[in-house]
Amino acid sequence: MTLNLKFNHNFINALQGDPIIENYTRQVPKACYSKVEPEKFDTANVIAISLDAAAEIDLDKNLFDTPEFNQFFTGQKIYDDMTPYAMCYGGHQFGNWANQLGDGRAIILGDITTKADKKICLQLKGAGSTPYSRSGDGYAVLRSSVREFLCSEAMHYLGVPTTRAISLALSGEEVYRDMMYDGNGAYEDGAIVCRTAPSFIRFGNFEILAARKELGLLKELVDFTITEHFSHLGTPSKDTYLKWYKEVCKTSADMVVHWLRVGFVHGVMNTDNMSIHGLTIDYGPYGWLEDYDLDWTPNTTDASYKRYAYGQQAHMVNWNLVQLANAIYPLIEDTDALQEALDFFADYYKSEWNKMMAKKLGWSEYKESDQALVASLIHLLTSVETDMTLFFRGLAKIDHTLKYDEIPQDLVDCYYDEDLSSDYIVKCCAWLNSYIERCAKDEVSTEARAKNMNSVNPKFVLRNYLSQLAIDKANENDYTMIHELLEVLKRPYDEQTGKEFFARKRPDWAKDKPGCSMLSCSS
């Protein structure tokens, strides 16, 4: 039996590759990829499948429990028409040019076009080393793979543009990691995630070619990207390059507005982690806002600079877009036109953010006169420890035909502080009463407003401590919580009576626990 997947070789056929086929770490100039196969892990075993993501590539359900599925999604079976490869890319990491990075532990199995005419690239993460592994081992550990598997699917169901994940597997190998970089290393289970995207092309794929002054290849890659993935913009030309760049500005802005809506912090927004499709990619030390804190980052490496903190993310997308503009400049040679696209990004982002906030607050549209009320809400949310997710769900419940002089019961549970100051209570009630006046202008019932709000304010997000609980169990060979979380996170906006456990405020034990509020890049 085979999985009946039909691979195309468009990327490899269109672009120059690495002529060396041996797999050893090196610089790979004048190439967009290197051919490399996944390592052979005899006992690799799939432990979780996202059925919907698998269905996207037209996989027959009957195949899910078969050895063929297991072998394919762990890289053990490479069919004759497959040519796995790793991509060459560079990137700016934490603001500095890092030169060649590349797929150091990701191997693309191949690209397919689905029956629904969707282009999907299948990639294994953690399946062994490649020419781009630098000092790494090419592996991924179970904890980070559980996080990537669950979060990419959770984001998909939240409606946030993202790469997806079909499967999570144990590689069967032990992998050594010093998780907190404190000399207390240990062996952990190795894991492999099969993830999907239209392509895994990143800003860094263009940057490396520009940095190496491989302008012919840069043009080939841009032309390929447009022809293969942005054909609606027209045939490649200077004008099309600009349209394409502007579209990347737009989709990247859309992505970050979604992040801010659901309280997601990516944690490592380096240019090598920026998808050309405006998708959330590379789930590393990401986190979910519990307390609404604009300065919060889960990434311990970024703890002092907070470059990638929640409230910085739009600036950082902008910064990354500037790097992409620099990279493709030689093909366009028009600074004003590129600047115009960046100005568009700034305006578009601002207007989308305003619209998003209006939706979160249950208003039919954003009006200029709403600015002060939204600004004072942000001030309110940051003035005491407030759980963002619970606050917006609670706000949906309050009766907007009343007036408040104490915190309504529906909001009481969203605070981490036990005792709210009288000053805060006065300010909160004043805000609520202004909010109610604003809602009244929309002439919408409390029920209808709640329904609208609950369709954009999730009840269930992958709270940091929930992934950690699932990881702790997985480390004991119990994968049930991974499966259960995946099910709950499929319907993040629904009430899902009986699943309240997964919507609870962060418990105290998780406040400063590694893996819950602090994550290193070790993965």
Catalytic positions are: 272
Alpha-helix residue ranges (DSSP H) falling in 23-81: 51-56, 67-72
Q: Residue 43 corresponds to which amino acid?
A: T
Q: Residue 252 corresponds to which amino acid?
A: S
Per rule CB under 6 A, is residue 103 in the interface with ligand AMP? yes
Choose the binding region for Mg ion from 148-156, 275-283, 297-305, 335-343 (rule: CB under 5 A).
Answer: 275-283
Whether residue 498 contacts residue 487, with contact meaning beta carbons closer than 8 Å, is answered with: no
Residue 189 makes CB contacts below 8 A (sequence gap 6+) with 141, 142, 170, 171, 174, 175, 474, 475
Min. distance of Cβ 279 from ligand AMP in angstroms? Answer: 14
Neighbouring CB atoms inside 10 A of 186's CB total 11
Q: Residue 222 corresponds to which amino acid?
A: V
Per rule CB under 6 A, is residue 52 in the interface with ligand AMP? no
The entry of ligand AMP, Mg ion, none that residue 250 binds, CB within 5 to 8 Å by partner kind: none
Residue whose CB is less far from ligand AMP, 84 or 138: 138
Residue showing tokens 């913009």 = 233
Per rule CB under 6 A, is residue 85 in the interface with ligand AMP? no
**Cα Rg, the chain, nearest whole Å:** 23
Per rule CB under 5 A, is residue 39 in the interface with Mg ion? no
Residue whose CB is less far from ligand AMP, 457 or 522: 522
Whether residue 147 contacts residue 471, with contact meaning beta carbons closer than 8 Å, is answered with: yes
CA–chain centroid gap for 511, Å, is 23
CB-based closest residue to ligand AMP:
136
Per rule CB under 5 A, is residue 280 in the interface with Mg ion? no
DSSP code string of 330-379:
HHH--HHHHHHHHHHHHHHHHHHHHHHHHHHTT-SS--GGGHHHHHHHHH
List residues bridging with 48 in a β-sheet: 168
Among positions 37, 282, 352, 370, the unique one binding Mg ion when judged by CB under 5 A: 282
In the stretch 384-423, what mask flags binding to Mg ion with x, by CB under 5 A? ----------------------------------------
Choose the binding region for Mg ion from 211-219, 273-281, 397-405, 417-425 (rule: CB under 5 A).
Answer: 273-281
Strand 164-177 relative to strand 186-197, pairing: antiparallel
Residue whose CB is less far from ligand AMP, 247 or 282: 282
Min. distance of Cβ 101 from Mg ion in angstroms? Answer: 7
Residue whose CB is less far from ligand AMP, 95 or 507: 95
Residue whose CB is less far from Mg ion, 273 or 280: 273
Per rule CB under 6 A, is residue 105 in the interface with ligand AMP? yes
Number of residues that bind ligand AMP (CB under 6 A): 18
Among positions 10, 136, 198, 293, the unique one binding ligand AMP when judged by CB under 6 A: 136
> HSE (CB half, 13 Å, CA atoms) of 225?
26
Min. distance of Cβ 212 from ligand AMP in angstroms? Answer: 16
130 burial level (CB within 10 Å; 0-12, 13-18, 19+): buried
Per rule CB under 6 A, is residue 104 in the interface with ligand AMP? yes
Min. distance of Cβ 106 from ligand AMP in angstroms? Answer: 6
Min. distance of Cβ 397 from Mg ion in angstroms? Answer: 40
Residue whose CB is less far from Mg ion, 266 or 463: 266
Residues 231-290 that bind ligand AMP (CB under 6 A): 268, 272-273, 282, 284
Helix, strand or coil, per DSSP, at residue 132: coil
Residue showing tokens 């970089």 = 181
Residue whose CB is less far from ligand AMP, 278 or 284: 284
Whether residue 101 contacts residue 136, with contact meaning beta carbons closer than 8 Å, is answered with: no
417 burial level (CB within 10 Å; 0-12, 13-18, 19+): exposed
Among positions 100, 130, 252, 273, the unique one binding Mg ion when judged by CB under 5 A: 273
The entry of ligand AMP, Mg ion, none that residue 198 binds, CB within 5 to 8 Å by partner kind: none
Neighbouring CB atoms inside 10 A of 367's CB total 13
**Residues at the site binding ligand AMP, with contacts judged by CB under 6 A:** 101-105, 132-134, 136-139, 268, 272-273, 282, 284, 521
Chain residues that interact with Mg ion, rule: CB under 5 A:
273, 282
